[in-house]
Structure 1
Amino acid sequence: MLVDFHSHTRFSDGLLSPKELVQRAVDRRVDVLAITDHDTTAGIAPARAAIAELALPLTLIDGIEISSGWQNHEIHVVGLRLDITDPALQAFIQGQSEKREARAIEMGRRLEKNRLAGCYEGAKALAGEAQVTRAHFARYMVEQGIVDSFQQVFKKYLTRGNPGYVPHNWPDMTEAIGIIKQAGGVAVLAHPTHYKLSNKWLKRLLHDFKAAGGDALEVAMSQQSPQDRINLAQWGNAVGLKASQGSDFHLVSSWSDLGRNLYLPKDAEPIWQDWPELTAVAP
């Protein structure tokens, strides 16, 4: 059974519509997919409608990826199997949306101050019905020829110390975990090796995540060394966190695709091991 518990649609910073995403998952032989858009669940209903319309052999898990803060770092928490109709969750999502919009407006103002006019408006147009993210700014700036690549956008403009950078105002990681648990979900630490932490600080993050009520960490990702995968499984086991896996899919590329290179080390305990909705899925 191939599961991918981390993916994005156009409702956040992915390039595919929910319908295109679920079709891509089936084409890639993914059996179980979680849609985990940034701070929104808006893509889930159209994805379910597409699965029914096309009679796709795919099990969909309701999910979200919440932006939060821990020790002055931006930390992402994936929520899986949550009740997306939960009023407290939807109120929280609305608050996150307002924070994202205010941050995007300020990014645009700072870039304009540095003679880069129209970036907010361009990013907003690219986002469409989605919330504006830094990825939309990056896409617009590349399309306008301001820079040659996404990497250059972040290096020159959108990271700390650069003209368009705006500090985040996300809720504490403990609050993010709490809202997921309140909505009946399980909380997973997303891409733990992406935060540029030393091993000592990463282990401290895992400890704090568990202490705050976290359930698992992403052990398997599409791009990582075998040793990183083994380390994450061992460190998660040491603090009592189960293992999840996800491609963090945004778009098809030479280095990224749904289900790519996703497997757990033999000593990792899958977070989905006892989920009843997966018992009928082919092994």
Structure 2
Amino acid sequence: MTSYLNADLHCHSVVSDGTLTPEELAARAKANGVELWSLTDHDEIGGQHRAAAAARSQGMAYLTGTEISVTFAGNTVHIVGLGFDPDNTALAQGLAATRGGRGERAQEMAAQLAQVGIHGAYEGALKFVGNPELISRTHFARFLVETQVCRDTNEVFRKYLTEGKPGYVPHRWATLGDAVRWITEAGGLAVIAHPARYKFTANEEYALFSEFKAHGGAGVEVVTGSHTAAEYVTYAAMADEFGLAASRGSDFHSPDESHTDLGTLPYLPGHLTPIWETLADRVQPAT
């Protein structure tokens, strides 16, 4: 395996906040030329056996995956885990604990939206939830689009679901150390997801990478759906500086919402160590 592999190691199914089943995602990935795939549902590993079986049926290699929400420097940061044992009890328990606050948070979000005249948002969001434990802002956004409060999900987030807007309720997630430990103790490797999205200061970002590395973190998403070409270069340099492997993933959620389709990103810069080389013994072969 090399950098010039069509690997897509970040996407979401109906098990969290995507709109396609693991089987539909596998078929879409294969149709787009993906050679190595991972399903990384938010704080959830319940779709892993389905995804691995679907990858095999499509003739694609597979890595187990999840995306864990953590709180760092007052912000929500996402840590992708790859190549772990999907039946690891401690990982499953940790993810269940971090999911636990979502229902209460969703009720608070609905109450705030009701105060600005948007009623029935909790019930409306539930219609879009494949897994009620994982109700999220994305599900509220789909309800507000369906009811024509907003034109699209981007407008919903801009007007209602970001900090300082009605409908925004912060959630206290796991710590960075928790997430990295759960992943590594389950036999996997931890990866910082889409680092350009966090809008940290330079000092905060350096602290994130330093603490992540100190906890045993192993990789960073360099080429991802939310990074620009310039950001590929920035985070390739960060991977070099911190001795991290590089990952690649579209962060695909839905054919109607995602900017970047499965398997359509540029390749990783050639000088980097791809995370899949570090995880070669955990890749489930295509056949």
TM-score normalised by length of structure 1: 0.93
CA contact (8 A) 1:177 1:187 kept: yes
1:240 matched residue in structure 2:
243
2:73 matched residue in structure 1:
71
Could you say what secondary structure the match of 2:128 adopts?
helix
CA contact (8 A) 1:249 1:258 kept: yes
CA contact (8 A) 2:250 2:261 kept: yes
Distance 1:50 1:236, change over 3 A: closer
Alignment partner of 1:193 is 2:196: yes
Alignment partner of 1:276 is 2:281: yes
CA deviations on 1:169-222 (whole Å, 9 max, x unpaired) are 112111111111111110000000011123443233212211121100001113
- Unaligned runs of at least 5 residues, structure 1: none
**C-alpha separation between the residues in 2 aligned to 1:252 and 1:118?**
26
Alignment partner of 1:172 is 2:175: yes
Could you say what secondary structure the match of 1:218 adopts?
strand
CA contact (8 A) 2:98 2:173 kept: yes
One-letter code aligned to 2:217: G
Deviation at 1:278, TM superposition (A): 5.0
Could you say what secondary structure the match of 2:64 adopts?
strand
**C-alpha separation between the residues in 1 aligned to 2:20 and 2:61?**
18
One-letter code aligned to 1:215: A
**C-alpha separation between the residues in 2 aligned to 1:280 and 1:174?**
31
Could you say what secondary structure the match of 2:71 adopts?
strand
Match of 1:26 among 27, 30, 46: 30
**C-alpha separation between the residues in 2 aligned to 1:30 and 1:260?**
9
CA deviations on 1:35-59 (whole Å, 9 max, x unpaired) are 000000112222234345xx31111
- Unaligned runs of at least 5 residues, structure 2: none
TM-score normalised by length of structure 2: 0.91
**Which has the higher mean CA deviation after the structures are superposed, 221-230 or 87-96?**
221-230
Alignment partner of 1:58 is 2:60: yes
Distance 1:224 1:187, change over 3 A: same
RMSD over aligned CA atoms reads: 1.9
2:43 matched residue in structure 1:
39
2:103 matched residue in structure 1:
101
Match of 2:260 among 236, 251, 256: 256
Task: For CA contacts below 8 A with separation 6 or more, give which structure has more relative contact order.
Answer: 2
CA deviations on 1:52-102 (whole Å, 9 max, x unpaired) are 5xx311112111000001110100000001112111111112112211112
Deviation at 1:280, TM superposition (A): 6.5
**Which has the higher mean CA deviation after the structures are superposed, 107-116 or 158-167?**
107-116
Deviation at 1:262, TM superposition (A): 3.4
One-letter code aligned to 1:187: A
Match of 1:17 among 15, 18, 21: 21
CA contact (8 A) 1:247 1:262 kept: no
Alignment partner of 1:214 is 2:217: yes
One-letter code aligned to 2:66: I
**C-alpha separation between the residues in 2 aligned to 1:188 and 1:281?**
23
**C-alpha separation between the residues in 2 aligned to 1:269 and 1:9?**
28
One-letter code aligned to 2:127: A
Distance 1:261 1:124, change over 3 A: same
Identical columns (%) = 38
**Which has the higher mean CA deviation after the structures are superposed, 89-98 or 245-254?**
245-254
Match of 1:2 among 1, 6, 19: 6
CA contact (8 A) 1:246 1:262 kept: no
Could you say what secondary structure the match of 2:171 adopts?
coil
Could you say what secondary structure the match of 1:65 adopts?
strand
